[in-house]
């Protein structure tokens, strides 16, 4: 039986790290993963992280253009229920919240 697990992340970086964990360690196909804004507005999360933060030399100017309009949502379609625990573990590792199954 297939299901879709979804979690929300405070930063784009946490969402991206979750995707990479799922693909590289648990061999979830990339086409089974969706990364979306958790709302109608474009967003990189609720706080800056990773490439959305100030750059290092030679471009140290701070950035203030990251659209912080809500959480980033990651949804994973899984066909094998045994993979659900691994997906939940990856969500938890990178501080995913509001985990839900559909």
> What CATH code is carried by the domain that includes residue 56?
3.30.70.260
Looking at the structure of the chain, the number of domains it has is 1
- Do residues 79 and 65 make contact, with C-beta atoms less than 8 angstroms apart? no
Domain interval for residue 31: 3-101
Predicted TM-score (pTM) of the model is 0.74
User: In tens digits, what is the pLDDT along the chain, a chain of 102 residues?
Assistant: 689 999 999 888 899 999 999 999 999 999 999 998 877 766 666 566 655 555 555 555 655 555 566 788 999 999 887 889 999 999 999 999 899 998
Token pair, residue 81, equals 């229920």
Distance CA 51, CA 36 (A): 18
Distance CA 61, CA 11 (A): 21
Note the pLDDT of residue 57.
59
């Amino acid at each position: 039986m297939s299901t879709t697990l979804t979690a929300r992340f405070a930063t784009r970086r946490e969402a991206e790290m979750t995707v990479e964990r799922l693909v590289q360690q648990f061999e979830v196909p990339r086409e089974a993963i969706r990364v979306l804004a958790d709302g109608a507005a474009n967003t990189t999360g609720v706080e800056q992280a990773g490439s959305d933060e100030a750059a290092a030399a030679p471009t140290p100017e701070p950035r203030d253009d990251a659209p912080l309009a809500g959480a980033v949502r990651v949804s994973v379609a899984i066909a094998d229920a045994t993979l659900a625990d691994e997906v939940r573990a990856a969500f938890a590792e990178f501080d995913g919240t509001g985990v839900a199954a559909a």
